[in-house]
Structure 1
Amino acid sequence: MDAVEGVVVAEDEAFWSVVESGEGGALAEVLGLEAGVVEGVLPALVDWRRSRVERSRAAGMRYRVSWSVVDGGAGVLSGRWLVVASEGVPGERVEACVGALVRGGAEPVVVVLDDGELDRWELAGRLTEEDGFGGGFAGVLSLVGLDGRTGVVGVRVGVPVGVAGSLALVQALGDAEIGVPLWCVTSGAVSTGRADGVVVPEQAMVWGLGRVAALEFPQRWGGLVDLPAVWDERVGGRLAGVLGGVEDQVAVRASGTFARRLARVAAGAGRPGEFASGGAVLVTGGTGALGAAVARRLAVRGVPELVLTSRRGLGAPGAAELVAELAGLGARATVVACDVADREALAGLLGEHPVTGVVHAAGVVDTVPLVGVGLEEFAEVLRAKTLGARYLDELVPDAEMFVLFSSIAGVWGSGGQAAYAAANAYLDGLAEARRARGLVATSVAWGPWADAGMLV
């Protein structure tokens, strides 16, 4: 910056400092005008400046996941590798992965779990036996995450077998004191770009869980590997290379090996638009701190009708006061008691209150270390976020606005919040899947909210 530019910048800063102070006399003096001339435009200048500053600050906090092509590596492996699968994993996928390990120099030991062995203690006993026979393992390759079945006896509604099994495996390996790197395989958990396949949100949950395992058990964590739907020898070679490499969040594709990165969104890229609609907007968790904040913002932006859901409806603390406040802002708000994880109840609500926009802010958070979390409590944390989002996707496919409140816990993990991270990774994956289908969707991975008491 030269001297002239420095003077201009200093003068600009001085001018806007006076504007932000709201003092008409001071601004009139800076501009060399009568105070009466300035007083009429000062409020508009203050609002314009505040809006620009807010947007600039928000832009500085925006990041996006990206993918970089990396060297696949030589794929040199050694020793015995435990390969764990479950009944729902296709046999040809197990054979392909085993073949890749053999060609990479490893000696695979395959264990296919039946549904009764998804219990961590049953699994720990099985793993202890396998580990003792042959002198231990050099690594563990889990294919359990590929099991997309639901409704299996012993696994809660809304929790795919692949997620429940992956949770049990992480815990059981610790129980069996097998301290070697664990690699979890998925297919469709991520998309490396527009030309890649559609994301499967249930697979993305395994990545959310895995990121927390990486934080809590770094000494026995290997990484996450997403494989393409179509397998060839190049994929096998790249898989072996990843297992012997340094990257721990990788997508293997026929076109190459891609490593996950988090990059700042470039200034001006993806500038936020204004949602304008004469219809109603549904805000789940609408009487909570986050939902209420969103409702106020929507009202200020001119949304005429809001449907706010919560478990307790108008019985929720502050609900009646919120309705009155929103009326003062020009929006008619209806508060309804509805469990959005109950599809029938949600369908009934939407039948009575049609909406053109959705903000899914419902959710609960529970902080329990992975070693101590049970499947029941894990499922309960998943429930409101994942089932609610799934049913909203099914019931409001043509929404003009579809916003999911996700969390940084799903992006890079959060110790003690495995279920929460998995749930938010599901939301991120669902948004990608909707956009791939040509529908609108935005998933916002928030950090901590001031005064709100939770990571979204």
Structure 2
Amino acid sequence: LRSVGEVCTLVFAGERYQQIAPGEFTINPNQAKDFEEVIETVAGKSPSLYGVVQCWTTEAGVGNGINSEELGSLSKLGCGTTLSLVQALVKGGLSTVPRLWLVTNGAQAVPNNHPVIPGVAQSSVWGMGKVISWEHPELNCTRIDLDPEETLEGKVDGLFKEIWSEDREDQVAWRGDGRYVARLVGSHHRQLVAQQADGKTQKPLSFRSEASYLITGGMGGLGLLVASWMVSKGAKHLILLGRRSPDDATRKKITELEMAGASVVVEKADVTDLESMKGVLQRIEESKRPLVGVIHSVMVLSNGVLRNQTWSSFEQVMEPKVQGAWHLHQLTQSQPLDFFVLFSSATSLLGSLGQGMANYSAANGFLDGLAHYRRTMGLPGLSIHWGAVSQVGRALGRDTETAAMLSKNGMGLISPAQVLESLELLMSGSDVEVGVMPIATDIGLGS
């Protein structure tokens, strides 16, 4: 950029805010005020600040041996610093709002025939970026994923071309000489749904009666719905995991499962606690009922627009999904699982439609990346972007309000029956990442 006459300011991670040279600063990545100060200083010297390129996430690769604490640090490096940066930009009172580029390195699963995604820890930044685009369109937030196998010079050249380009694509990934852009593609499962509506059905899915199945978030509305469906399909040994003991309504549901012939083990454990999860897996092993399937359906919400969010509210939402999924991945990767299903959300596919869910979208963005990451390892992995579900979980009692909000955006609620119908189709297929939501245009499952 300097070679073509542009003025560039470099900002490095350090212990505190400090100008170390002309056009060079250090700031503490954990101090939001440092971001505000450096933006104020740079904008003061250059009122026509054109853009900000966030590159701190490019080093956040992930080895298979990474622990959850390191993963948490990488999440903070990516999403935490991006949160502080966005807040500094929108609160700075700048006369001209600069563009924002979020740069990752191997965080997207492209190309389809040979995906490369060693930077799965950075995939949450892409989920967050979807919401930034909705809440702050003035930033023109563009996500760029560089080729992790490219040389440093090659990465720099590709990044410069994207920044210098007037192209309007806001989700771009480079692999070798190939430039990939994001598009929603209609799922072939829509045809199967139509066939079932006409009475034509495929071979029904069934579960193994001698094996165990683990459902995290298993005592939530969606978890219990899935548990009941699995029992109806032949599952006899379920482990329902949650942080709290079951209440009376949940106990009643569990009793119904047992009366239907299932053995149900309730595990009160925190999926973010590795030692607790090791204990859960050890007890399953000792039961002599091998674990052959995992469904990760935990959900924690702490909504708020980006301007008002804190890293604490991000951690509260992200840890159960991100660290929890990583624990499940690490603890089961040597076991021959039939499936490893991650319950993601439409937020990491489309954004939050004004609901203030950047933290939730970031958390689900990681799940989407993890499903692809596991597939590259030859392991099962499926991430499902669920839309809002009626009559269960957080939508209960708010269906009318939620439906009205979704309708404005050409979408609708999914019924519990549609959830199970879609889940069976997807678990019977080979897809890695699919969105399931009633939508007005010719996209996705349902219409």
Structure-2-length-normalised TM-score? 0.73
Check whether the contact 1:123–1:168 (CA below 8 A) recurs between aligned residues.
yes
Matched with 1:39 is none
CA distance in 2, matches of 1:421, 1:303: 32
Quick one: which amino acid aligns to residue 390 of structure 2? A
**After superposition, what is the alpha-carbon deviation per residue over 1:414-443, rounded to whole angstroms, capped at 9, x for unaligned?**
131111000000001111000110001111
Q: CA deviation at 1:113?
A: 3.9
Instruction: Give runs of aligned pairs for residues 10-409 of structure 1, distance below 5 A.
Output: 79-80=6-7, 84=11, 86=13, 111=24, 113-114=26-27, 116-148=28-60, 159-178=75-94, 179-192=97-110, 193-229=112-148, 230-231=150-151, 235-243=155-163, 244=165, 245-267=167-189, 274-277=205-208, 278-314=210-246, 316-354=247-285, 355-397=291-333, 398=335, 399-409=337-347
Quick one: which amino acid aligns to residue 403 of structure 1? V
CA distance in 2, matches of 1:133, 1:273: 66
Relative distance call for 1:337 and 1:440 in structure 2 (3 A) is same
Relative distance call for 1:407 and 1:273 in structure 2 (3 A) is farther
Quick one: which amino acid aligns to residue 329 of structure 2? D
Quick one: which amino acid aligns to residue 161 of structure 2? G
**After superposition, what is the alpha-carbon deviation per residue over 1:369-401, rounded to whole angstroms, capped at 9, x for unaligned?**
000101111111001111110000011112222
Check whether the contact 2:235–2:262 (CA below 8 A) recurs between aligned residues.
yes
Q: Secondary structure at the match of 1:159?
A: helix
Relative distance call for 1:259 and 1:86 in structure 2 (3 A) is farther
Check whether the contact 1:145–1:166 (CA below 8 A) recurs between aligned residues.
no
CA distance in 1, matches of 2:312, 2:85: 16
Which of 373, 377, 384 lines up with 1:433 in the alignment? 373
Relative distance call for 1:288 and 1:78 in structure 2 (3 A) is farther
Relative distance call for 1:389 and 1:232 in structure 2 (3 A) is closer
Check whether the contact 1:189–1:199 (CA below 8 A) recurs between aligned residues.
yes
Q: Secondary structure at the match of 1:189?
A: coil
CA distance in 1, matches of 2:47, 2:383: 46
Give the paired residue count.
358
Larger radius of gyration: 1
CA distance in 2, matches of 1:159, 1:255: 29
Point out the more displaced range, 166-175 or 386-395: 166-175
Q: CA deviation at 1:237?
A: 4.5
Check whether the contact 1:125–1:176 (CA below 8 A) recurs between aligned residues.
no
Check whether the contact 1:285–1:291 (CA below 8 A) recurs between aligned residues.
yes
Q: CA deviation at 1:233?
A: 5.8
**After superposition, what is the alpha-carbon deviation per residue over 1:52-84, rounded to whole angstroms, capped at 9, x for unaligned?**
xxxxxxxxxxxxxxxxxxxxxxxx987545555
Relative distance call for 1:239 and 1:156 in structure 2 (3 A) is closer
Percent identity among equivalent residues? 29
Relative distance call for 1:366 and 1:197 in structure 2 (3 A) is same
CA distance in 1, matches of 2:51, 2:269: 46
**After superposition, what is the alpha-carbon deviation per residue over 1:130-167, rounded to whole angstroms, capped at 9, x for unaligned?**
1212343111111022242999x9x9667341221111
CA distance in 2, matches of 1:177, 1:111: 22
Quick one: which amino acid aligns to residue 301 of structure 1? K
Matched, 1:452 2:392: yes
**After superposition, what is the alpha-carbon deviation per residue over 1:236-274, rounded to whole angstroms, capped at 9, x for unaligned?**
444333322110000022222111111101256998973
Relative distance call for 1:147 and 1:375 in structure 2 (3 A) is farther
Q: Secondary structure at the match of 1:427?
A: helix
CA distance in 2, matches of 1:157, 1:452: 33
Q: Secondary structure at the match of 2:53?
A: strand
Q: Secondary structure at the match of 1:171?
A: helix
CA distance in 2, matches of 1:439, 1:394: 11
Check whether the contact 1:201–1:425 (CA below 8 A) recurs between aligned residues.
no
Quick one: which amino acid aligns to residue 48 of structure 2? G
Check whether the contact 2:292–2:339 (CA below 8 A) recurs between aligned residues.
yes
CA distance in 1, matches of 2:162, 2:203: 37
Q: CA deviation at 1:189?
A: 1.3
CA distance in 1, matches of 2:221, 2:275: 26
Point out the more displaced range, 372-381 or 260-269: 260-269
Unpaired runs of at least 5, structure 1: 1-75, 89-108
**After superposition, what is the alpha-carbon deviation per residue over 1:85-129, rounded to whole angstroms, capped at 9, x for unaligned?**
5469xxxxxxxxxxxxxxxxxxxx965644x24322221011211
Quick one: which amino acid aligns to residue 386 of structure 2? W
